[in-house]
Amino acid sequence: MQYQMSRGLWFTHMLMSIAMMASGQQRPQYTQYVFNNYLLNPAISGIENYTDVKFGYRNQWRGIDQAPITAYFSVHLPLGKQYLYGNSNSFDEKGSNPMKRSYVHTYMASEPHHGIGVYGVVDRTGPITSSDFKLTYAYHLGLSPKINLSVGVAAGVSRLMLDISKISLENSLDPAIAENASNKLQPDLSVGTWLYGPDFFAGLSAQQLLNRPISFSTDASYNQGKQVPHVFITGGYKFFITDEIAGLPSVMFKYVSPAPISTDLNMKVAFKDKFWLGASYRSNDAVAVLAGFNVSSLFVLGYSYDFTTSELGRVSTGSHEVVLGILLNNRYKVTCPQKAW
């Protein structure tokens, strides 16, 4: 697919429109953020007492040529032997089921500890590819016998690239596009906080805090675009349907100026620590079905399918997303998350 451009200023406007599409966001969309909130909030770094590794792939708006495709990896872990080998998780050497009612009664807050992590995301839409690589740090503090508060920061670099081979220009010397057609690496910063206990979580985070410019030109008159902060407010609650089946409703509000607030409503039902089913609604965009399987104490797998409800649904067959989780150094052989459910 080629994009026919005529005037530099119009082309610059088009690039900014692409960057701001999908309800005004510049960051990738994730349906399964409920499976990996770490991508949105660095305060989750090291929340479990094993090394959490995840790989994700999202194919958005299938049926539309050059629609967004996102791939990522993430790794985070706690620091300190007291946390790694302590008894704060309230389960024995053979593992435990955090979706069991008795687990809530015996739950204890984590000891104060540090967490670190790293993640990388590549997101391609048409001729534009954005890449992010960040290191994260968090500190987890016990506020009460059952409640923790963590604060975190993510710092790294981002890059926006344009594939000129996918564009047909009326003027090959268009001043809106530099010869190399790619931004230099730019610094990026995110912060977050996370409050969690045996039956709830609440988080606040912000990404792209440095407001770096977005441009493919060396001519300052075309450098009109910039990154804008993305603010996420999340919360969830766990209740029990039976002794070993739990319902997990959650919500996320996302604000990206000047777009209106976007709302995600989610509901998961977890069956012991074996698998879960769920549904999600994203305002003015999509409804989704989700499923996850805790294959073993080493692997977990999640899948979601979005049914597009916006005008794009006329030409799109929906969006697929797959997430593979690996639980390394899993000393207690747990088969699903204990703290970040």
Residue whose token pair is 């953020």? 33
- What would the mean pLDDT of 27-40 be, rounded to a whole number? 89
- Residue 105's contacts (CB-CB under 8 Å, 6 or more residues apart) are none
Region of poorest pLDDT, from 198-202, 207-211, 248-252 = 207-211
Question: pLDDT value at position 90?
Answer: 39
Question: pLDDT value at position 89?
Answer: 46
Residue whose token pair is 């999202």? 58
Question: Are 243 and 101 a contacting pair, CB within 8 Å?
Answer: yes
Question: pLDDT value at position 216?
Answer: 65
Confidence of residue 8 (pLDDT cuts 50, 70, 90): very low
- pLDDT of 295 > 90? The answer is no
φ, ψ of residue 294 to 5 degrees: the values are: -90, 90
- Residue 117's contacts (CB-CB under 8 Å, 6 or more residues apart) are 38, 42, 45, 46, 74, 75, 76, 77, 135, 136, 137
Reduced to 3 states (helix: H, G, I; strand: E, B; else coil), residue 26 is coil
> Rounded to two decimals, what is the model's pTM?
0.84
Question: pLDDT value at position 105?
Answer: 80
- What would the mean pLDDT of 63-91 be, rounded to a whole number? 73
Condensed to tens digits (0 to 9), the pLDDT of residues 223-248 reads 566 778 999 999 999 999 998 899 99
Question: pLDDT value at position 281?
Answer: 95
Quick one: the chain helix, strand, coil %, rounded to 5?
Answer: 15, 50, 40
Domains of the chain, first to last: 31-216+225-328 (2.40.160.40)
The β-bridge partners of 302 are: 292, 323
Condensed to tens digits (0 to 9), the pLDDT of residues 133-192 reads 999 999 999 999 999 999 999 999 988 887 776 666 666 556 556 555 566 688 999 999
Question: pLDDT value at position 88?
Answer: 43
Q: Of 2, 214, 246, 306, give the one whose Cα is nearest residue 100.
A: 246
- What would the mean pLDDT of 108-114 be, rounded to a whole number? 89
**225/69: higher pLDDT:** 69
CB atoms within 10 A of CB 18: 16
The 10 Å CB-count burial string (b at 16+, else e) for 312-328 is bbeebebbebebbbebe
Q: Which two tokens stand for residue 212?
A: 């770096």
% of the chain with per-residue pLDDT over 90: 46
Question: pLDDT value at position 218?
Answer: 60
- What would the mean pLDDT of 106-117 be, rounded to a whole number? 90
Question: Are 236 and 268 a contacting pair, CB within 8 Å?
Answer: no
**58/259: higher pLDDT:** 58
- What would the mean pLDDT of 26-49 be, rounded to a whole number? 90
Average pLDDT, the chain: 81
Question: pLDDT value at position 14?
Answer: 43
Condensed to tens digits (0 to 9), the pLDDT of residues 120-136 reads 999 988 778 889 999 99
Confidence of residue 318 (pLDDT cuts 50, 70, 90): confident
Rounded CA separation 185/273 (Å)? 42
- pLDDT of 311 > 50? The answer is yes
Dihedral sign for Cα 153, 157, 163, 169, please: positive
Q: Establish whether the linkage from the previous residue to 42 is cis, with ω within 30° of 0.
A: no
Rounded CA separation 108/69 (Å)? 40
Burial class (CB in 10 A: 0-12, 13-18, 19+), 68: buried
Region of poorest pLDDT, from 156-165, 197-206, 275-284 = 156-165
φ, ψ of residue 185 to 5 degrees: the values are: -60, 135
Residue whose token pair is 């190399």? 180
